Structure 1
Amino acid sequence: MNLAEMLTFADIEVLTKIADHYKCVCNTNSKHELIQTILGKMGRREYFEELLDELGTEDLRFLNTLLFDGRKQFSLEELLACASQAKWSADDQDVKTQIRPRDLVTRFRQKGWLFTGRSTNERFLFELPEDLKMGFRTGLEQRMLMDLKRVQAPAAYREEPIQASEDLFLLIDYIHRHEIVLNAEGAMYRRYQTQIMDKLHVSEPLLGRSGWRFGYGRKFKDYPSRLAFLYDYATYRRWIEERGGILAVTSAGQTVLAEERREPLIQLIRFWLRLYKGPIPNLLSLVYWIDRGSKGWVSANSLFVAMERFINPYYYDTPESIFQERILKMMLHLGMIRIGEDEQEGMIVRMTAAGRAAVEVICQARQEPDFRK
């Protein structure tokens, strides 16, 4: 429902609190007058721009989470969980006072952004009006695009339009052709990894002996990021399996090889969004903002500056390393972006047509309104 409909169904006490928040001057005993006055305040073209300028970091994070969550309705517990994601660290320099998740929810209700209703099982659920969602997305996009540094197309750039699908096939084929013995930790010995890298279109340095690696998939601790991702995907599809200390191809994997089947990139992208969602809960929204900001060539650093407040550090992974290594680099591997170099701005990026189409399809599949309208 849109804001006007939700105001109509709200009781007069809720309307009075919203009117008080916006300092509306009206007859608080008249529901009709309250609704008209509130709509007059919240329906102005400048409303979203003014409010976004006033919002603190935690409010913006909470709002961003709600805008890209596939659910249309939330229980109080679900809202509190979303609000908790907005509170990252006690030394967050942008937040002078730490705000409780419940206070964030209360504040959004007072602003007229969250309304309660009942579900079929009589539970109270909260909903954000659809027209407010669209207005906030548009407002956030305008704020983000404002300071991006646009650049000319580079003389050369890197792109991997189909290599992930091809290398997934080559990985399965290599495992099928070799008897791969796993070490005590259940990982391939380095000699196997080296041979695999020699066969793949995109090679990566093997892992060293030190450093932390966890959170980004089951095999992230054992292999370089891209190889770990392809391995985890093949395991997820049950094309390969570890049995008795040996890595082998399953009957389903043999069918893939016999049919010379290449996995559609959209399936790999969906899996990546799920696999990395643990350490990066709002990954879909970050990919969406990259999509909106890089229709043309743009400085990667200016993109990061615009999005930094939405990127939660993850243990030793800083917001910048998450943006560069876990998001941009994986989007390159999945054929979603091109990466080039500019003499003044350094790394520059641009979404590919396939990447933009994938973002649109995935967002629509989450039963969200069409983001591109």
Structure 2
Amino acid sequence: MNLADMLSYADIGQLSRIATTYSCECNGHSKNELIQSILQAVGRKEVFEAQVGSMKLEELRFMNSLLFDPRDSFSLEELIARVQQSKFGEPQTDAEPVKAQGAHAKEPKAKRPGSKRTKAAGSEAAPETGPRATITRFKQYGWLFNGFSGPNRYLFQVPADLKIRFRETLERRFMGQLTYAADDPQAYRDEQQLLGCDVSEMLTFIYQNDIPLTAEGAMYKRSVLQIIDRLGVKEMLPARGEWRFGYGRRMKEYPNRMAFIYDYCYFNGWITETGPSLALTSEGMQRQAQRRPEQPDKLYRFWLRLYKNAVPNLRSLVHWIDKLSPRWVSAESLKNTLSPFIKPYYYDNAETIFEQRLSGMMLHLGLIRIGEHNELGRVIRMTPLGRAVIAGLNLEDEEAIVLE
């Protein structure tokens, strides 16, 4: 639903609060006048961009977490959690437990435009703080609405047309911070279709060889090197003592790309570690016999779910890279622009996540090209495959994958 539709379902109290926020001059007792005044105010480009420009970084992060989510509605508890996740490294300020902030809690009433109202001294409600205060502000801006009827009454929604305007406004802001190349780089890497072929290659290697496993169920170094030698992209073995967790079941034993392929095969039930050696399951036998590359959209879907715990807003970051790199763009400027929206994960800082977990894996998935430019250094550009995969998917909000 668009903003006009949601305003028509809102009660006059919420309309009055929104109108007050935008300093609308109208009859505060007329719902129609309130709606028209709000639409006129929000419709002005300078007003909307001024509101976005005044937002704090954590508020931008919170809104960004909603912009590319395909769902229409969110619970209060989920919104509170997202606000808390938007405060990178900052202490939680909301002292109330979530259940005490239930959807039926009433908001303080605001003075209606054009009306007079008095209150007894000391009767003002205490100002809200923490995540709940952020949600209240977004409601007062008309950016969040409670469901209008039925069982969804206390689920929150963002107007569809405002989502588009938010994306367009942020896109203009981000593009103003980027450096684009005037010409093509002297050389670039493009791995389109390679990852899908290597899924089939790994299954074939397991089918053709007896691969012993350690007591922990991992392959020995010799087998890992043999597999790496057959894959389309060569990787170094993980360094001894290097911390590796959070990005897949076998990330700690195998290189990044190979670990992703292995986990993908394991998740699909094509390989088993139950015996003294690695083997294909009956489903894996059938899949190996087909000897066809795995589809890029399936690999992309799996990646979003596998990395979701470590990078909760991975979906939005991928969409921003898609929108901001239709042509060759400096990787450094893109990293600096998106880093404020990347939450560190244990020993991985925003820079490491961008370079290794985000752009590095997008290269392996065939979503982007990475080149070397004489003037700008490393540059990035979306591939035709990447743009098609990202634009063509309408993913549900699936649970993150945790492979034990």
User: Shorter-normalised TM-score: what interval?
Assistant: over 0.9
| Structure-1 residue corresponding to 2:96 | none
Q: 1:102 aligns with which of 122, 126, 132?
A: 132
Q: How many Å apart are 1:232 and its aligned residue?
A: 0.4
- Over aligned residue pairs, what C-alpha RMSD do you find? 1.7
SS at match of 1:73: coil
| Structure-2 residue corresponding to 1:328 | 359
* Distance of 2:14 and 2:81 partners within structure 1: 23
C-alpha distance 122-161 of structure 1, shift in aligned 2 (>3 A): closer
| Structure-2 residue corresponding to 1:220 | 251
Q: How does 1:116-155 map to 2 (within 5 A)?
A: 116-118=146-148, 120-121=150-151, 123-151=153-181, 152-155=183-186
**Structure with larger Rg:** 2
* Distance of 1:192 and 1:316 partners within structure 2: 29
Gaps of 5+ in 1: 93-98, 368-373
TM-score normalised over the length of structure 2? 0.86
Q: 1:302 aligns with which of 333, 339, 345?
A: 333
| Structure-1 residue corresponding to 2:319 | 288
Q: How many Å apart are 1:48 and its aligned residue?
A: 3.0
| Structure-1 residue corresponding to 2:114 | none
The answer (yes or no) to whether the contact 2:187–2:373 under 8 Å persists in 1 is no
Identity of aligned residues (%): 50
C-alpha distance 18-117 of structure 1, shift in aligned 2 (>3 A): same
* Distance of 2:270 and 2:53 partners within structure 1: 50
Say whether residues 1:254 and 2:302 are aligned partners.
no
Structure 1 residues 11-45: Cα deviation after superposition (integer angstroms, max 9, x where no partner): 11111111111222222122122111111110112
Kindly tell me the number of residue pairs found equivalent between the two proteins: 360
Q: How many Å apart are 1:167 and its aligned residue?
A: 1.2
SS at match of 2:359: helix
Say whether residues 1:207 and 2:207 are aligned partners.
no
The answer (yes or no) to whether the contact 2:186–2:373 under 8 Å persists in 1 is no
* Distance of 1:248 and 1:119 partners within structure 2: 54
SS at match of 2:147: strand
Tell which has more relative contact order, 1 or 2 (C-alpha 8 A, sep 6+).
2
Q: What code does the residue aligned with 1:65 have?
A: S
C-alpha distance 365-210 of structure 1, shift in aligned 2 (>3 A): closer
Q: How does 1:78-97 map to 2 (within 5 A)?
A: 78-90=78-90
Q: What code does the residue aligned with 2:78 have?
A: E
Q: How many Å apart are 1:181 and its aligned residue?
A: 1.4
Q: Which moved more, 1:267-276 or 1:48-57?
A: 48-57
Structure 1 residues 203-242: Cα deviation after superposition (integer angstroms, max 9, x where no partner): 1101121121110011111111101000000011111111
Q: What code does the residue aligned with 2:65 have?
A: T
Gaps of 5+ in 2: 93-128, 398-404
Structure 1 residues 59-83: Cα deviation after superposition (integer angstroms, max 9, x where no partner): 1001001112222011111211222
* Distance of 2:161 and 2:22 partners within structure 1: 19
Q: What code does the residue aligned with 1:63 have?
A: M
| Structure-2 residue corresponding to 1:95 | none
| Structure-1 residue corresponding to 2:32 | 32
* Distance of 2:189 and 2:39 partners within structure 1: 49
* Distance of 2:301 and 2:10 partners within structure 1: 38
The answer (yes or no) to whether the contact 1:214–1:221 under 8 Å persists in 2 is yes
Q: How does 1:1-373 map to 2 (within 5 A)?
A: 1-90=1-90, 100-118=130-148, 120-121=150-151, 123-151=153-181, 152-362=183-393, 364-366=394-396
The answer (yes or no) to whether the contact 1:206–1:223 under 8 Å persists in 2 is yes
* Distance of 1:222 and 1:120 partners within structure 2: 51
Structure 1 residues 103-149: Cα deviation after superposition (integer angstroms, max 9, x where no partner): 21111011111111256436511111111111101111111111211
* Distance of 1:232 and 1:122 partners within structure 2: 37
Q: How many Å apart are 1:256 and its aligned residue?
A: 1.9
Q: How many Å apart are 1:47 and its aligned residue?
A: 3.1
